[in-house]
Amino acid sequence: MTTDNHDTPPAQSSWSGAASSALILGLAALPLALAIGGILYSRPSTPDAPAVAAQSSTATPAAGLVPAVFSPPGERDIPDSKMGEWIQRGEAIFARTPENAVGFSGNSLSCANCHIDAGRLKNAAPMWGAYPMYPAYRKKTDHVDTFAERVRGCFMYSMNGTAPQDGHDILVAVEAYAYWMASKAPIGEKQPGAGFAKVPKPEQAPTFDAGQKVYTANCALCHGDQGQGQKSGKLTVFPALWGKDSYNWGAGMHEIDKAASFIKSNMPYGLHNALSDQEAWDVATFINSFERPQDPRFKGDVKQTRQQFHDSPYSTYGLEVNGKLLGVGL
Ligand code: HEC
Ligand code: HEC
């Protein structure tokens, strides 16, 4: 792992070439891979045309209707200035994290794999919904987190990597990007579509077996039989859901209630609320019942780590599933 371009200013040449060719490759690979799904998954955005329209700047909030979803600026609105360069750099880190945060990213995921549409999509923890809500007290860290600290958390857990130290240019660039995306959003007021849309607990307790059925029918096509995802060369086309290339045991997505909420709004890709609440909880239970990289807060004892950090009905860490103890790490 190298951290050599660590402190370099965001000169276009050091990163944008690699990022844009990777992006072009990615865009070319996605429809191809989606074509495997054929009729089922013809185009990711068509099923939700009304929601997309509601996000566009032409939507007029009408009294008595559902409150308008905040409309973030588009990529073309990035200013042509020094600040704009940092915003662009943040966007590149967000979209292609492994290539643009070398030494800090520990798996093949990118921020945008979970914060979909480069951090714009409502109910996928969009950056315009997050930025204005920090600093905030968080139980997980037991102190008041700044936005930068929150991002450091996603580097440590969701990216199974190393958090850039405070003031590091990678953090500054991501902050600049999120700040810009939240332009004109009210501060300290939770916006509709911010975070995830919580899915109520289902009637039946979710099970691995029920989740496996949902997974085989709706997810395996893209994410693979072993949750390993799919790559085209080095580029991730479909991200991994468990195993060594996925988020670690400390990540929010390993918590079944959070994963169910993300999945219900966003998966199968391009469909929104296609699964029932029960199916979302079942499949969230299934994908989070396999081994994944260790929680970085682990001090050598799975039981103690469960007690300290995962004492919740929504974590399978430290439990036995199908005769296997989970939480031993990979
Ligand atoms: C595996 C999926 C995943 C990846 C990859 C990921 N995140 Fe997150 N992120 C989450 C989840 C889940 C939450 C909510 C966690 C919670 O509520 O505890 C979250 C929360 C956040 C928040 C706070 C959102 C809010 O509304 O308060 C920010 C900011 C954030 N992530 C930034 C990033 C950045 C930057 C990256 C890339 C370096 C990244 N995330 C990568 C899943 C992910
Ligand atoms: C048509 C292909 C496709 C199908 C089917 C699909 N996904 Fe995804 N999934 C994706 C893509 C693509 C992303 C990354 C989104 C992005 O980068 O814009 C993703 C991201 C995710 C993520 C967050 C990133 C990660 O790796 O943790 C989870 C969790 C997830 N999918 C779960 C599921 C589940 C559960 C199902 C079945 C109910 C499912 N997906 C069905 C394509 C698919």
**CA 253 to ligand 1 centroid distance, Å:** 9
Residue 213, number of CB atoms within 10 A of its CB: 14
Is 242's C-beta closer than 6 angstroms to any atom of ligand 2? Answer: no
- 172, two tokens: 């500054």
Is 118's C-beta closer than 6 angstroms to any atom of ligand 2? Answer: no
Torsion, Cα of 24, 28, 34, 39 (10° steps): 130
Provide the residue type at 47 as one letter: P
Pocket test for ligand 1, best of 158, 242, 261, 312 (most atoms within 8 A of CB): 158
Res 64: pLDDT:
59
Residue 202, number of CB atoms within 10 A of its CB: 16
Res 305: pLDDT:
97
Residue with more model confidence, 327 or 233: 327
**What confidence tens digit (pLDDT) does each residue in 212-262 have?**
999 999 999 999 999 999 999 889 999 999 999 999 999 999 999 999 999
Phi, then psi, of 220 in degrees rounded to 5: -60, -35
Residue indicated by tokens 């909030």: 61
Res 102: pLDDT:
95
- In 3D space, the residue among 307, 314, 312, 311 whose CA is nearest the CA of residue 285 turns out to be 314
Q: Which ligand is nearest to the CA of 130?
A: 1
Mean pLDDT, residues 103-117: 97
State yes or no: pLDDT of 23 exceeds 50: no
**What confidence tens digit (pLDDT) does each residue in 272-290 have?**
999 999 999 999 999 999 9
Q: Give dist(CA 110, CA 38) in Å, integer.
A: 26
Is 210's C-beta closer than 6 angstroms to any atom of ligand 2? Answer: no
**CA 52 to ligand 2 centroid distance, Å:** 19
Mean pLDDT, residues 150-178: 97
Is 287's C-beta closer than 6 angstroms to any atom of ligand 1? Answer: no
Residue 176 near residue 87, CB atoms below 8 Å: yes
User: How many residues are there in the chain?
Assistant: 330
| pLDDT band for position 63 (cuts 50, 70, 90) | low
Specify the CATH class of 79-195 in words: mainly alpha
Is 171's C-beta closer than 6 angstroms to any atom of ligand 2? Answer: no
Parts of the chain belonging to CATH 1.10.760.10: 79-195, 208-325
Mean pLDDT, residues 196-205: 96
CATH architecture of 208-325: Orthogonal Bundle (1.10)
Tell me what percent of the residues of the chain surpass a pLDDT of 70.
80
Ligand 2 atom with the smallest distance to the CA of 284 is 35
Torsion, Cα of 128, 130, 136, 142 (10° steps): -160
State yes or no: pLDDT of 24 exceeds 50: no
Q: Give dist(CA 257, CA 253) in Å, integer.
A: 9
State yes or no: pLDDT of 39 exceeds 50: no
State yes or no: pLDDT of 4 exceeds 80: no
State yes or no: pLDDT of 6 exceeds 90: no
**What confidence tens digit (pLDDT) does each residue in 40-52 have?**
433 333 333 333 3
Q: Which ligand is nearest to the CA of 155?
A: 1
Mean pLDDT, residues 164-176: 97
Torsion, Cα of 254, 38, 19, 112 (10° steps): -30
Mean pLDDT, residues 70-76: 94
Is 218's C-beta closer than 6 angstroms to any atom of ligand 2? Answer: yes
Res 140: pLDDT:
84
State yes or no: pLDDT of 38 exceeds 70: no
CB-count exposure of residue 215 (10 Å: 0-12, 13-18, 19+): buried
Residue 240, number of CB atoms within 10 A of its CB: 23
Ligand 2 atom with the smallest distance to the CA of 286 is 35
Res 91: pLDDT:
98
State yes or no: pLDDT of 28 exceeds 70: no
Res 309: pLDDT:
96
